[in-house]
Amino acid sequence: MLKKNKLYYPGKELKNKAWVKNNSIYIKGGKNPIKFWGELAKEILWFKSPKKTFIHQPPYFKWFVGGKLNITQNALDRNLKERKNKVALIWEPEPLEEQSRILTYYDLYREVNRLANALKRLGVKKGDRVGIYLPMLPEVVISMLACARIGAIHIVVFSAFSSAALKIRLQDTKAEMLITADGYYRRGKIINLKQSVDKGIKGTKVKKVIVVKRAGNKISWKKNRDLWWKDIIEKEKDECKPEVMDSEDTLFILTESGTAGQYLQILHTTGGYTVQAYITGKWVFDFKDEDIFWCMADVGWATGHTYGVYSPLLNGVTFLIFEGAPDWPNPHRWAQIIEKYGVTTFYTAPTAIRMFEKYNGKISKKYKFESLQILGSVGEPINEATWHWYFQKVGKGRCPLVDTWWQTETGGILITSLPGVGPFKPAFTGLPFPGIKFDILDEKGNSLPVNKEGNLVILPPFAPGLLRGIYKSPKKYKKTYWSQYGNKIYFTSDVAYKDKNGLIRIVGRVDDVIKVAGHRISTGELENILSKHSNVIECAVMGVPHEIKGEVPIVFVVLKKKMSLEKVKKELIKKIREEIGPIVKPKEIYLVEDLPKTRSGKIMRRILKRLFTGEPLGDLSVLANPECIDEIRKRILSKA
């Protein structure tokens, strides 16, 4: 790799073998994006080719209109020709003493078809919603693909979410079937997942629960409702004809946090998502037959859907999934996994990289990481120091580092540098993916020049994999994405700027959504949860910087009756655990007499945040109650 004014370029060897070697692809994609994507779609197998590439009926749009396909035909059947006995999936369990599981393309094909047949026999039809609440086991991949095989819509729920979070997702989507496990390993302990299911499905429409036996823990069982996975697939045939899906038929729903505590049941359709998942993986990770790809994200998040499952399969590569935590039972675990399997392409989040960085000296000296060829980062801004650490200590200065920007809504990567082209610039995500048009606008909608921060938007024809709606909620869809600049401009809710080369740097979100260890959480959602506590009058939650997790929430609470800080903390943390799960523990909780407010009663979260970080508070004349500031400052300083 050469170093040139802080811009890095790929080495000759990588450049020569890359799918994309030079800038001409950007010119081609920019000239006529619709034609460009239309051409790319031809690399996918269609039962019936699309008649028209793009139709725009703002704020709705369609891609590959009239096309018929099934994503599993592309992910599985297609690979049987040349890769029948090639390893598709490697599963690394958390316990060190346990054997890994290896599934070839043919194994995976048969397992998917068996489950697909079983689902059909149990009454699941095209368009039905199926909840999947599974940890990182091969069965989670099989379940998603089995749904897609028969045209059922999968709703994967992160297994670390609580029963209450599961319930909301099942209720909102009216799923009648759920696939889960008895339990799983997390940091040496067995988590009883079935217990959360028994609680979470109360008050939902779920009639059948399929249970994978993983940890062998004791679980309660409801006859006629609960079914063992093993039993239901036992007699099923290993052939199942793929359902013919229209390009615009829904493939899956994934819930995300929107602004003000809203849940967004994000809808993705089949044709556009398939094309984008396939081509972004091929070009950004430069997928080749000999690759071993490890995307560390849990399948409960968008990254786990697109790059943990669909994209590697669509490209016929071998991919790895890991049940445990990357630093368990020791901080070397992630590095050992890379060496054990000879991982070539490693895709993870800055929060994990910062955790690896903590053990810098020991690990980076011990491991040579000779198999690695490309590194990826996703989910939050990666700062310069961490970028350099990852690039030098893990990639040993020879692996291109692709920082990839996207959102659950975009279905796949939309901004990054391509590994065979570059340039890679620390803390900048890169250029818009070929065929995608971005702009950075001021509040009035004027396009901003180089180095000026503004709102990041996507212009028509958007992206084939961009969401098509919020499940049964057109109003939320319009308001969230298509109201700031009219119905022809997609608003990302991110602030960004570009440098003179057009490389984009993401500054952060403009709404109340924060990123805790890469997970998207709305502070409004947390406030709603905390306000349910009978002794809370009002509260304010905001994100503050954290050295490992990127951001963490802090909480200011006004109580009705006196209560000890210790007790309040315990009860509020329990409440969050119950409603969301253990992933968003607040860093600090402060009990205060009053919260700073404007005369119209709006809580000034900005001032609270600055009090915490010690930045200048700015103009306080907007406050109706400036006298509360001193008391809050004292509480922060004394942590009382």
Q: How near is the Cβ of 160 to ligand PRX at its closest, in Å?
A: 15
- Residue 114 or 515 having the CB closest to ligand PRX: 515
Q: How near is the Cβ of 513 to ligand PRX at its closest, in Å?
A: 8
- Let me know: does 288 contact 17? Beta carbons within 8 Å: yes
- Residue 513 or 540 having the CB closest to ligand PRX: 513
Amino acid at residue number 161: F
| Rounded CA separation 266/381 (Å) | 23
- Residue 76 or 506 having the CB closest to ligand PRX: 506
Burial of 221 (0-12, 13-18, 19+ CB in 10 A): middle
Q: How near is the Cβ of 407 to ligand PRX at its closest, in Å?
A: 4
Crossing angle for the helix pair 163-173 and 193-200, to the nearest 10 degrees: 50
Q: How near is the Cβ of 388 to ligand PRX at its closest, in Å?
A: 16
Classify residue 242 by its DSSP letter: P
Q: How near is the Cβ of 201 to ligand PRX at its closest, in Å?
A: 26
| Rounded CA separation 298/287 (Å) | 20
| Rounded CA separation 348/353 (Å) | 7
Q: Which residue has the tokens 């997928």?
A: 287
- Let me know: does 180 contact 197? Beta carbons within 8 Å: yes
| Rounded CA separation 162/192 (Å) | 11
Token readout for 618 is 């700015």
Q: Regarding beta strands 318-322 and 87-92, do their DSSP bridges make them parallel or antiparallel, or are they unpaired?
A: parallel
- Residue 148 or 521 having the CB closest to ligand PRX: 521
Q: How near is the Cβ of 295 to ligand PRX at its closest, in Å?
A: 11
Amino acid at residue number 149: R
- Residue 136 or 604 having the CB closest to ligand PRX: 136
- Residue 214 or 509 having the CB closest to ligand PRX: 509
Spell out the SS3 assignment of 177-193.
EEEEECEEEECCEEEEH
Burial of 202 (0-12, 13-18, 19+ CB in 10 A): exposed
- Residue 116 or 382 having the CB closest to ligand PRX: 382
- Let me know: does 147 contact 178? Beta carbons within 8 Å: no
Q: How near is the Cβ of 275 to ligand PRX at its closest, in Å?
A: 18
- Residue 145 or 378 having the CB closest to ligand PRX: 378
Q: How near is the Cβ of 495 to ligand PRX at its closest, in Å?
A: 9
| Rounded CA separation 592/594 (Å) | 6
| Rounded CA separation 354/390 (Å) | 9
Q: How near is the Cβ of 515 to ligand PRX at its closest, in Å?
A: 6
Q: Which residue has the tokens 């946090």?
A: 257
- Residue 183 or 381 having the CB closest to ligand PRX: 381
Describe the chain by its helix, strand, coil percentages, rounded to 5.
Answer: 35, 25, 40
- Residue 93 or 465 having the CB closest to ligand PRX: 465
Q: How near is the Cβ of 417 to ligand PRX at its closest, in Å?
A: 11
- Residue 511 or 588 having the CB closest to ligand PRX: 511
Classify residue 486 by its DSSP letter: B
| Rounded CA separation 580/484 (Å) | 30
Q: How near is the Cβ of 583 to ligand PRX at its closest, in Å?
A: 12
| Rounded CA separation 143/90 (Å) | 16
Q: Which residue has the tokens 């035909």?
A: 73
- Residue 494 or 525 having the CB closest to ligand PRX: 494
Binding residues vs ligand PRX (CB under 6 A)? 256, 302-303, 378-381, 403-408, 429, 492-494, 506, 509, 515, 520
Q: How near is the Cβ of 206 to ligand PRX at its closest, in Å?
A: 26
| Rounded CA separation 298/134 (Å) | 10
C-alpha separations of 422 from 283, 303, 346 in Å: 12, 22, 18
Q: How near is the Cβ of 215 to ligand PRX at its closest, in Å?
A: 28
Q: How near is the Cβ of 396 to ligand PRX at its closest, in Å?
A: 22
Q: Where are the alpha helices (DSSP H) in 212-301?
A: 229-233, 270-284
Q: Which of 270, 294, 321 is nearest to 159 (CA)?
A: 321
Q: List Cβ neighbours of 355 (8 Å cut-off, separation of 6 or more).
A: 326, 327, 548
For 522, the enclosing helix (H) or strand (E) is strand 519-522
| Rounded CA separation 250/472 (Å) | 12
- Residue 74 or 492 having the CB closest to ligand PRX: 492
Q: Which of 354, 592, 344, 432 is nearest to 33 (CA)?
A: 432
- Residue 406 or 590 having the CB closest to ligand PRX: 406
Q: How near is the Cβ of 516 to ligand PRX at its closest, in Å?
A: 11
Geometric angle at alpha carbon 575, from 573 and 576, rounded to 5°:
65
- Residue 246 or 380 having the CB closest to ligand PRX: 380
